[in-house]
């Protein structure tokens, strides 16, 4: 069996499903080879002059292709802070860790970055950090990411240029933060007008960089309600609608209870947090709302009616003690959900880790009263909180992988193009290598001296241990619970090889 990818547009032109052991995984994975045509200008598969490279997934090494992961919420400038959050919660974390690191991406005219192809005036450190973010996320199989940058246009444009040159599909957002009552004096827009005109200049840069938006697109990014004045929110809503199709929008919502209380105080005229965004036409079908831990039933109803999307960031919600988002309720109510790493509220740039954490936190949901959401009956309400029953709130491995791929694709409004291997979809993919079953050494009772390295070469990869008895379903489960970037052998975006494990 083979899978054919057009060199012209990187789309899947045809495939021949070789039987996966378990039909339920056909939607998500293929163990077939795919064909990479090295001569794009010939645009075809028939001619003698076409050089064809066939990439096989090795059965013995337990390799398989999987749709690229979609990170629907990540802060690129916070990458230096990965793992640094202490015991803070959202509002003090922003003040202590986040605004200081982001403020360092400002213009340093005396230190030009020296690369003529890249936007001027961004500090060299921005270049280095952003390059590392893109390389790192690609190495974890993230083929598409929706990035928050900083308020600084040159550095934000650098991030767009780096995604474009490394070949990562990306939405790039300059954060808007013009409210002097919330933003620190050292890191804020001068005014609403300044915020909007800086945003326009980022949009122009990205539209010139990638006129068709094939790989990189701008996304409007009011950081969250407390950082924005009403004129800024209003201006952004209007700016989105100036374009055809309207621009994507991303923000945070109802992550933390103190934040919810603050928004109530800052916007007393609004019915609730979601209504603040809705008043300014910022809840659209291209809006990504990160966290949504504490939405009320009324707010969820509004989000669903506007067809706005939710980015579930479980690692971050646990790290900052924000709570557990009720993903099952979102899905039951017909709200579209994808996964976000939320680096560096989240401690990991890996969407596989986000999938794992989505499974884990969903298992806690029924057990803690404070996680209770109105309108759903939890295990403890039936008096059997400590019974190991599978409650409906629990997400399965398959569901978490769905959120990481097809769910994320729907969140970025690209469900027809990304997230699976359907004919006509774009080949954004990763080759996963779980590794071979470990061989028994010739004399297992003899201490291994120089044998260890050869075992590593032929045996397991990373933390995944296979014993040869696993079904494909079980192998996938082991991947989700024990896998990491060591299992990501190669990554393609639109048919282009963008990462290969060295």
Output 219 or 290, the one with its CB closest to Fe ion.
290
Distance in angstroms (rounded) separating the CA atoms of residues 360 and 66: 22
Q: Which is nearer to ligand GUN, 73 or 378 (CB)?
A: 73
Q: Which does 32 bind (CB under 5 to 8 A by kind): ligand GUN, Fe ion, none?
A: none
Compare residues 89 and 125 and give the one whose CB is closer to ligand GUN.
89
Choose among ligand GUN, Fe ion, none what residue 357 binds, the Cβ cut-off being 5 to 8 Å by kind: none
Q: Give the interface with ligand GUN as residue ranges (CB under 6 A).
A: 75, 90, 94, 98, 223-224, 252, 255, 316, 342, 345
Q: Figure out which of the listed residues 210, 342, 353, 485 binds Fe ion, where binding follows CB under 5 A.
A: 342
Measured from the CB atom, the residue of 316 and 357 that comes closer to ligand GUN is: 316
Angle at 214 between CA 48 and CA 211, to 5 degrees: 115
Q: Minimum distance between the CB of residue 372 and Fe ion, rounded to whole angstroms? A: 24
Distance CA 58, CA 245 (A): 42
Q: Which is nearer to Fe ion, 195 or 251 (CB)?
A: 251
CB of 255 to Fe ion, least distance (A): 8
245 prior amide bond cis, ω within 30: yes
Comparison of 35 and 129: residue with beta carbon closer to ligand GUN: 129
Dmax over CA atoms of the chain, in Å, equals 76
At 404, list the tokens: 């990481």
Q: How many whole angstroms separate alpha carbon 82 and alpha carbon 75?
A: 10
Query: Least Å distance between CB 223 and ligand GUN?
Result: 5
Yes or no: say if 368 and 323 are a contact pair by the CB < 8 Å rule.
Answer: no
* Minimum distance, C-beta of residue 319 to ligand GUN, in the bound complex (Å): 9
Return the number of the residue (223 or 356) whose C-beta is nearest ligand GUN: 223
Beta-bridge mates of residue 55 = 34
Q: Which does 489 bind (CB under 5 to 8 A by kind): Fe ion, ligand GUN, none?
A: none
Answer with the entry of Fe ion, ligand GUN, none that 255 interacts with (C-beta below 5 to 8 A by kind): ligand GUN
Which CB, 142 or 317, lies closer to ligand GUN? 317
- 223 makes contact, choosing from Fe ion, ligand GUN, none, with CB < 5 to 8 Å by partner type, with ligand GUN
CA torsion sign, 443 to 448 to 450 to 452? positive
Q: How far is the CB of 260 from ligand GUN (least distance, A)?
A: 12
> Three-class SS of residue 460?
strand
Rounded Cα distance between 119 and 156, Å, is: 9
User: Is the peptide bond between 213 and the residue preceding it cis, with omega within 30 degrees of 0?
Assistant: no
**Binding-residue total with Fe ion (CB under 5 A):** 2
Angle at 229 between CA 224 and CA 232, to 5 degrees: 90
Query: Strand 429-433 and strand 63-67: pairing?
Result: antiparallel
Are 34 and 2 in contact by the 8 Å Cβ rule? The answer is yes
Query: Per rule CB under 5 A, is residue 189 in the interface with Fe ion?
Result: no
Of all helices (H) and strands (E), which one includes residue 489? strand 488-493
CB of 75 to ligand GUN, least distance (A): 5
Rounded least distance, CB 316 to ligand GUN, Å: 5
CA–CA dist 220, 237 (Å, integer): 9
Q: Which stretch binds Fe ion (CB under 5 A): 96-104, 266-274, 334-342, 431-439?
A: 334-342
Pick 71 or 342: Cβ nearer ligand GUN: 342
Note whether 353 binds Fe ion by CB under 5 A.
no
- Binding segment for Fe ion among 238-246, 289-297, 374-382, 442-450 (CB under 5 A)? 289-297
* Min CB(224)–Fe ion separation in Å: 8
391 burial via Cβ count (<10 Å: 0-12, 13-18, 19+): buried
Binding site for Fe ion (CB under 5 A): 290, 342
């Amino acid at each position: 069996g083979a899978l054919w990818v057009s060199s012209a547009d990187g789309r899947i032109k045809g495939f021949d499903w070789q039987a996966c052991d378990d039909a339920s995984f056909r939607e998500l994975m293929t163990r077939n080879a795919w064909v990479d045509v090295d001569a794009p200008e010939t645009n075809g598969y028939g001619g003698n002059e076409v050089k064809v490279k066939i990439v096989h997934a090795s059965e013995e090494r337990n390799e398989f292709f999987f749709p690229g992961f979609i990170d629907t919420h990540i802060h690129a400038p916070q990458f230096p802070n990965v793992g640094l959050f202490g015991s803070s919660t959202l509002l003090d974390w922003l003040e202590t860790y986040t605004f200081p690191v982001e403020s360092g991406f400002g213009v340093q005219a005396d230190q030009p970055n020296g690369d003529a192809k890249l936007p001027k005036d961004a500090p060299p450190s921005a270049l280095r950090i952003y390059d590392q973010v893109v390389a790192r996320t690609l190495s974890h199989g993230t083929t598409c990411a929706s990035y928050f940058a900083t308020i600084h246009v040159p550095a934000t444009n650098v991030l767009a240029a780096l995604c474009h040159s490394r070949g990562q599909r990306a939405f790039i957002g300059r954060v808007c933060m013009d409210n002097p009552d919330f933003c620190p004096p050292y890191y804020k827009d001068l005014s609403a007008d300044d915020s909007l005109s800086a945003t326009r200049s980022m949009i122009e840069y990205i539209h010139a960089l990638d006129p068709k938006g094939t790989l990189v697109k701008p996304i409007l990014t009011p950081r969250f309600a407390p950082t924005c004045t009403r004129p800024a929110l209003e201006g952004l809503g209007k700016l989105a609608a100036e374009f055809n199709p309207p621009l994507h929008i991303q923000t945070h919502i109802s992550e933390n209870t103190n934040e919810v209380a603050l928004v109530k105080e800052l916007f007393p005229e609004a019915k609730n947090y979601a209504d603040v965004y809705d008043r300014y036409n910022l809840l659209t079908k291209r809006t990504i709302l990160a966290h949504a831990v504490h939405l009320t039933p009324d707010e969820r109803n509004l989000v669903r009616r506007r067809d706005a999307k939710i980015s579930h960031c479980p690692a971050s919600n646990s790290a900052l003690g924000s709570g557990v988002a009720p993903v099952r309720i979102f899905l039951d109510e017909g709200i579209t959900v994808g996964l976000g790493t939320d680096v560096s509220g989240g401690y990991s740039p890996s969407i596989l880790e986000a999938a794992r954490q989505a499974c884990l936190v969903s298992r806690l949901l029924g057990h803690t009263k404070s996680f209770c959401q109105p309108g759903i009956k939890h295990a403890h309400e039936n008096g059997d909180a400590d019974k190991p029953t599978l409650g409906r709130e629990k997400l399965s491995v398959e569901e978490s992988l769905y959120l990481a791929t097809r769910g994320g694709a729907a969140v970025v409004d690209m469900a027809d193009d990304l997230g699976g291997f359907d004919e006509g979809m774009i080949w954004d993919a990763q080759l996963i290598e779980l590794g071979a079953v470990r061989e028994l050494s010739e004399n297992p009772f003899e201490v291994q001296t120089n044998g260890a390295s050869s075992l590593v070469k032929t045996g397991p990869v990373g933390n995944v241990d296979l014993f040869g008895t696993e079904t494909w379903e079980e192998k996938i489960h082991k991947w989700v619970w024990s896998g990491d970037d060591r299992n990501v052998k190669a990554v393609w975006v639109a048919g282009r090889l963008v990462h290969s494990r060295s």
